[in-house]
Amino acid sequence: MLKPPHPVARLAYALSLWLNPNNHALDGGRASSAMERESVAEIAGMFGWRTHLGHLCGGGTMANLEGLWVSGRLNPGKRIIASEQAHYTHRRISDVLQLTFATIPCDPLARMDVNVLETELKRGEIGTVVVTMGTTATGSVDPLPDIISLQDKYGFRIHADAAYGGYFILADNLNSMTREAFDCLSRVDSIAIDPHKHGLQPYGCGCILFRDPRVGTLYKHDSPYTYFTSSELHLGEISLECSRAGAAAVALWATQKLMPLVAGGEFAVGLQKSRRAALSLFEKLESDSRFRTAFVPELDIVIWAPVAESSSKTSSLCREHFDRAAARDLHLAIATLPSGLLDSHWPEIEWDQDQIACLRSCLMKPEHIDWIERIWQIIDEVAASSNQVS
Ligand SMILES: *Cc1c(COP(=O)(O)O)cnc(C)c1O
């Protein structure tokens, strides 16, 4: 998952380093704190929130940590639930926060299985459901409309992990199921999003947003070190981290000034291109008998495997393709998925192990669309050469 920052982000970041502002207290970064407020409000606005509480942080893991920390403070002792395909750090974060964590299996589209979720809700003691808006492995979007219906019935907080997929709310070419999920994102309680993934920022830029600004009171502290010289709210008063790079806020602000977070704008068009690239690669793979595909990409991530008779042979063939593609400068990824996620898609495979390694490609850069033919040519060459071997 690599996407170079936009040139204006690089420039703004570098220029601010003459001062090296610290967005902890307003005194440490007057301009950069104002820029942080403005750009975070623009991200909240993208999700349809006119009021919010939020700030930038080190990345998606920190943003999720704050989301779950607030959840735990509001629902002490209750469980955190996420899908089996949720980011692996949710379990660890829950561990750090000493909250019990449990996973829900996925449906054949790699989204949280809401029937199993309801069974779990009936057992009780669920404080928060983490809804992944674009899983890291497959880009699947959990069925938020159904989860919101369950929230009305059972009552729990919803934390949306939109670290990877959040910006796709701006794309005009999502399938209807994915669109419906994004359209009710404004109803969740908190959202984590990573400007350093799809927001064209250098690493070190995550963002946490809360719908109800009153959760700010949970952060109250009385530090002897930080002098808050104005009565205005300091970002350091609503953040778990203390010192934070003002440069990250300056870079984000400049990028969003150049490319506002609006549907139909240049930024949105870039995401749409990534999605078109993923669909285009998916179609090529799907119509080629040498490959197996399973999930129609919901965002810009494609999963596939070369055809082999068993899950173990598929996995080793995937690793071979991965190496051979890398030798030709095409850098793919491997996603190891549970057999339960793929056995209904690939019934002809002999499941001799309970996991299967698949090939994965994140077509994150808008330029990927122009490279699809070349990418396909390499995938084709790799398949042709390894078929001779096997
Ligand atoms: C990347 C990612 C994270 C972790 O974010 P970092 O910025 O790497 O800390 C969490 N959740 C999802 C869905 C992600 O894709």
* Pocket lining: 142 vs ligand 1, CB cutoff 6 Å: no
Pocket of ligand 1 contains residue 136 by CB under 6 Å: yes
What domains can you pick out in the chain, each with its CATH number?
7-258 (3.40.640.10), 266-389 (3.90.1150.10)
Where the chain has pLDDT below 50, the residues are 388-390
Atom number in ligand 1 closest to CA 133: 13
Ligand 1 neighbourhood includes 206 CB (under 6 angstroms): yes
Please give the Cα distance from 224 to 219 (Å, whole number).
15
Q: Cα of 185 to ligand 1 centre, how many Å?
A: 18
> Ligand 1 centroid to 362 CA: how many Å?
14
If you take atom 10 of ligand 1, which residue's CA is the nearest one? Answer: 60
pLDDT for residue 101: 98
How far separated are the first and last CA of the chain, in Å rounded? 30
pLDDT of residue 127: 98
pTM of the predicted structure, to 2 decimals = 0.96
Q: Tell whether ligand 1 has an atom less than 6 A from the beta carbon of residue 366.
A: no
Burial-class residue 208 by CB neighbours within 10 Å (0-12, 13-18, 19+).
buried
Q: From the CA of 202, how far away is ligand 1's center (Å)? A: 14
**Amino acid 390: pLDDT:** 46
Cα 249 to Cα 239: distance, rounded to the nearest angstrom: 14
Question: If you take atom 6 of ligand 1, which residue's CA is the nearest one?
Answer: 60
Q: What is the 3-state secondary structure (H, E, C) of the chain?
A: CCCCCCHHHHHHHHHHCCCCCECCCHHHCHHHHHHHHHHHHHHHHHCCCCCCEEEEECCHHHHHHHHHHHHHHHCCCCEEEEECCCCCHHHHHHHHCCCCEEEECECCCCCECHHHHHHHHHHCCEEEEEEEECCCCCCCECCHHHHHHHHHHHCCEEEEEECCCHHHHHCCCCCHHHHHHHHCHHHCCEEEECCCCCCCCCCCCEEEEECCHHHHHHHCCCCCCCCCCCCCCCHHHHCCCCCCEHHHHHHHHHHHHHCCCCCCCHHHHHHHHHHHHHHHHHHHHHCCCCEEECCCCCCCEEEEEECCCEHHHHHHHHHHHHHHHHHCCCCCEEEEEEHHHHCCCCCCCECCCCEEEEEEEECCCCCHHHHHHHHHHHHHHHHHHHHHHC
Q: Does residue 87 line the site of ligand 1, with CB under 6 A?
A: yes
For the Cβ of 59 lying below 6 angstroms from any atom of ligand 1, the answer is yes
Residue whose pair of structure tokens reads 């509001």 in the numeric block: 74
Ligand 1 proximity of 60 Cβ (cutoff 6 Å)? yes
Is the shortest distance between the CB of 47 and ligand 1 below 6 Å?
Answer: no
Shortest-distance atom of ligand 1 to CA 134: 13
Give the pLDDT confidence of 135-153 residue by residue, as tens digits: 999 999 999 999 999 999 9
Nearest to 350 by CA among 313, 314, 316, 311: 311
Which residue puts its alpha carbon closest to atom 8 of ligand 1? 60
**309 alpha carbon to ligand 1 midpoint, in Å?**
34
Between the CA of 158 and the centroid of ligand 1 the distance, in Å, is 17
Ligand 1 centroid from CA 91, angstroms: 13
**Would you state the pLDDT for residue 27?**
85
* Ligand 1 and 298: CB distance under 6 A: no
